[in-house]
């Protein structure tokens, strides 16, 4: 059973980086399959804290080969500075592999992301401004630049010309911006080409050969299920498929190879950017979750919107991803409440609804129906097994498991590698 997918079950920032790093020591490859440097994954190793944006969290495990799959969008300048930042801290990054088919986030994609958001005004998505949406749009429009294009000067120039043809019209005539010069973009991209060359590989071949040899491959999602372009809260989503199927298309591995799909699930809910969020809190409890949970964006530094756990969303994540397990994170953050509300259903225009409505209008009208679970005051950060948890914390976990539809196989009780309760082994 060599291939596992690890993904966000909510709106991102569930603790995927920590969970991936935890498994990194026991797996041969860790693969990012979608998204780009919109992700911010925090890994805490001893007294060292790492913020990873583009690199798979397996990069911190010496035995593990990190892979950037074809489904990822790569900003070369961000990638190179992330690599040099890690090298300066003594992390060996030489094993990294980058798919030649991954798309490049060009400087004009970043510009377009920023101007379109500004023009959306109050309807803005609240993107990370990293050029993610426009780069995926170019990919789908078939005017994208791929990593392999960096190695053919003439092709690169022609492709940048084609991409800028329409964009420059748009930038100058619609958005009142200066046109972007083709030569300048080509020159900048060529500067990155040589530096990236040692890492570029046929990652589809490498990964499939590894699976044939029974090597263990872990696919690390960016973002989360509700930010998925197809299955999330469209249009307030990212422009890729963080859900489990994205691992197959974004890495070139068939679905028959995937044996386990682990949903990372925060013990409460957070969201960054615009869009509906039924359990969002605007009171002292929301502030407390933000403060205790350190809920501030790793990429943009924005405060995260915070709310209670939403079991309707967790059930939905189980369904659309075919989850086999949950990794429940940040249970320690909930210590200190007398009782903890958990959303078990929605009330939508006077009706009780148990499952996530497909209609955007309905979801915007959804009000949480809460059940109240008894809280605990004991410090749980030193708990090593389920039985070390206070009875009410055990009850909270069991209730969430029952409502969410898949077994909770691990529980995070702090940000560090060892602050984890393992219930069922993932490998």
What is the x/- site pattern for ligand GDP, positions 294-323, by CB under 6 A? x---x-------------------------
What is the x/- site pattern for ligand IMO, positions 99-138, by CB under 6 A? --------------------------xxxx-x-xx-----
**186 is an interface residue for ligand IMO by CB under 6 A:** no
Q: Which of 332, 346, 404, 409 binds ligand GDP (CB under 6 A)?
A: 332
- Annotated catalytic residues are 13, 41
CB 52 within 8 A of CB 82: yes
Alpha-carbon distance of 345 to 391, in angstroms, equals 25
**13 is an interface residue for Mg ion by CB under 5 A:** yes
Task: Tell me the three state secondary structure of residue 116.
Answer: helix
CB 138 within 8 A of CB 131: no
Q: Which is nearer to ligand GDP, 17 or 278 (CB)?
A: 17
Beta strands in 186-308 (DSSP E): 200-201, 217-220, 258-266, 269-271, 305-307
CB 276 within 8 A of CB 366: yes
Residues sharing a CB contact under 8 Å with residue 272, sequence separation 6 or more, in sequence order = 11, 12, 13, 126, 297, 300, 302, 304, 305
Q: CB-side exposure of 359: number of CA atoms within 13 Å?
A: 7
Q: Which is nearer to ligand GDP, 17 or 246 (CB)?
A: 17
Q: How far is the CB of 7 from Mg ion (least distance, A)?
A: 13
Q: Which of 239, 269, 318, 321 binds ligand IMO (CB under 6 A)?
A: 239
- Kindly state the DSSP code that residue 65 receives in the 8-state scheme: E
**19 is an interface residue for ligand IMO by CB under 6 A:** no
Q: How far is the CB of 377 from ligand IMO (least distance, A)?
A: 30
What is the x/- site pattern for ligand IMO, positions 243-282, by CB under 6 A? -----------------------------xx---------
Alpha-carbon distance of 262 to 276, in angstroms, equals 25
- Which residues sit at the interface with ligand IMO, rule CB under 6 A? 8, 12-13, 38-41, 125-128, 130, 132-133, 222-224, 227, 238-239, 272-273
């Amino acid at each position: 059973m060599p291939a596992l997918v690890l993904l966000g079950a909510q709106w991102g920032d569930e603790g995927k980086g920590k969970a991936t790093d935890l498994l990194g020591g026991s797996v041969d490859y860790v693969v990012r399959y979608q998204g780009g440097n919109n992700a911010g994954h925090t890994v805490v190793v001893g007294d060292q804290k790492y913020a990873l944006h583009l690199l798979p969290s397996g990069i911190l495990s010496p035995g593990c080969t990190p892979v950037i799959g074809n489904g990822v969008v790569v900003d070369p300048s961000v990638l190179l500075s992330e690599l040099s930042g890690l090298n300066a801290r003594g992390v060996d990054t030489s094993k990294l592999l980058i798919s030649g088919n991954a798309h490049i986030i060009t400087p004009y994609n970043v510009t377009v992301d920023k101007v379109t958001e500004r023009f959306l005004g109050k309807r803005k998505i609240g993107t990370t401004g990293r050029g993610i949406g426009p780069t995926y749009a170019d990919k789908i429009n078939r005017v994208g630049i791929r990593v392999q294009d960096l190695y053919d000067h003439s092709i690169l120039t022609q492709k940048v010309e084609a991409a800028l043809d329409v964009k420059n019209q748009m930038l100058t005539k619609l958005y009142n911006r200066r046109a972007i010069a083709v030569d300048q973009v080509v020159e900048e991209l060529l500067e990155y080409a040589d530096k990236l060359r040692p890492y570029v590989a046929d990652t589809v071949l490498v990964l499939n050969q590894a699976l044939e040899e029974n090597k263990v491959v872990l696919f690390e999602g960016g973002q989360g299920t509700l930010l998925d372009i197809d299955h999330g809260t469209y249009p307030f989503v990212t422009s890729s498929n963080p859900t489990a199927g994205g691992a197959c298309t974004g890495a070139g591995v068939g679905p028959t190879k995937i044996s386990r799909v682990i949903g990372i699930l925060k013990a409460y809910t957070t969201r960054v950017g615009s869009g509906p969020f039924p359990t969002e809190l605007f009171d002292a409890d929301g502030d407390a979750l933000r403060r205790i949970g350190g809920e501030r964006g790793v990429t943009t530094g924005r405060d995260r919107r915070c709310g209670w756990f939403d079991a309707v969303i967790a059930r939905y994540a189980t369904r659309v991803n075919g989850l086999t397990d949950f990794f429940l994170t940040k249970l320690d953050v909930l210590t200190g409440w007398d009782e903890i509300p958990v959303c078990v259903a929605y009330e939508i225009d006077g009706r009780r609804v148990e499952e996530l409505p497909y209609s955007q209008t309905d979801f915007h009208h959804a009000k949480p129906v809460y059940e109240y679970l008894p809280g605990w005051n004991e410090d749980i950060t030193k708990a090593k097994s389920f039985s070390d948890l206070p009875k009410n914390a055990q009850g909270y976990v069991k209730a969430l498991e029952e409502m969410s539809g898949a077994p909770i196989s691990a529980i995070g009780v702090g940000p560090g590698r060892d602050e984890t309760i393992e219930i069922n082994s993932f490998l």
